[in-house]
Amino acid sequence: MFDLRQLEQLVAIADRGSLSAAARELHLSQPALTRSMQRLEDEFGVELFTHEKNRVTLNEAGFLAVEQARGVLGAAEGMKSRMHGYARAQRSVAVGSCAPGPMWLVAPELMRRLTDKTISTEMSEPDALLEGLLAERYQLIIMNTAVERDDIACREYVTERLYISLPPAHQLTKRDGVSLAELAGQTMLLYSDLGVWGKLCEEKMRGIRFIVQSERDAFADLISASVLPNFTTNLTRTLAAPPLDRVDVPILDPEASITFWLCTLKKNRKLLDCISSPI
């Protein structure tokens, strides 16, 4: 019976164009690779190569075998990925999120509720999160839209609203709210890892000069030591008390409010019951 290694060798020959080039890539001697392909031909009962003087090439049957081999190898890789995902799910819960705020709320609650599991978190784009959930690399994802699929359970989680945090002497502190357009020309502190909020910065805040900080603790220290404005949200305000010398003013643009959804495979829907709505 042939094995996956022989199929990988066959595909390598097709990709590299010759036995010798494939042998170098696979770190095999050419005679060893030739013997392996002869055993594969014996197994299939058909010749896969045309032998010419100083040259061996795939024939029509060989190209058909390569096409089938790619499918088998892809299926095997998919099986391996799913089994690894299953194994991880037995001992851990991987959470993927498209924004930092809701992830910072969800992770501690899962740690409190699921004391027998390891909780891991990471940020990614919505499309990559959905792909990862379906491949079971994540057990739970936090999306900025509901996912409408028969195999996925979703629950509305929380709405995050954007504020500008200002020193008391700033001219905007007496306002009930401001638009992003009114912030043009301002110099502001900005945390770099914003997820889907980053798109808002790119599209509607081009007139603002940002001083960007990538470390969360360093960003908090910078806010405390600076008179520059920064953005905050209703979620980040629940995680840490705002500085006493700051005034938070709501951003009025519709885009400054995002509703997040918890999504998991329906077979794992009990995960949703472990998380309460924070606000």
- CATH number, domain with residue 78: 1.10.10.10
Same-domain pairing of 74 and 12 = yes
- For residue range 209-242, what is the model confidence (pLDDT) as tens digits? 888 888 877 787 888 788 889 899 999 877 766 6
Cα 7 from Cα 12, distance rounded (Å): 9
Give the angle subtended at the CA of 46 by the CAs of 41 and 48, to the nearest 5°: 65
- CATH number, domain with residue 94: 3.40.190.10
Q: Total structural domains in the chain?
A: 3
Answer yes or no: pTM beyond 0.85: no
Q: According to the model, what pLDDT value does residue 240 have?
A: 66
- Residues with Cβ within 8 Å of residue 216, at least 6 apart in sequence: 191
Using CA atoms, how far residue 141 sits from 118, 126, 152, in Å, is: 16, 9, 11
Same-domain pairing of 13 and 40 = yes
Same-domain pairing of 39 and 78 = yes
Same-domain pairing of 263 and 151 = yes
Same-domain pairing of 241 and 168 = yes
Same-domain pairing of 263 and 153 = yes
| Owning domain of residue 207 | 161-255
Same-domain pairing of 165 and 240 = yes
Number of other CB atoms surrounding residue 250 within 10 Å = 16
Query: Are 103 and 95 a contacting pair, CB within 8 Å?
Result: yes
Same-domain pairing of 204 and 94 = no
Query: Are 155 and 261 a contacting pair, CB within 8 Å?
Result: yes
| Domain boundary residue, one of 59, 83, 107 | 83
- For residue range 110-134, what is the model confidence (pLDDT) as tens digits? 999 998 888 999 999 999 999 999 9
Q: Computed over its alpha carbons, how large is the radius of gyration of the chain?
A: 28
Question: Hey, is 23 helix, strand or coil?
Answer: helix
Which helix H or strand E contains 119, and what residues bound it? strand 118-123
Query: Are 235 and 157 a contacting pair, CB within 8 Å?
Result: no
Which helix H or strand E contains 25, and what residues bound it? helix 19-26
> Beta strand 187-191 with 209-213: parallel, antiparallel or unpaired?
parallel
- For residue range 13-66, what is the model confidence (pLDDT) as tens digits? 999 998 999 999 999 999 999 999 999 999 999 999 998 888 889 999 999 999
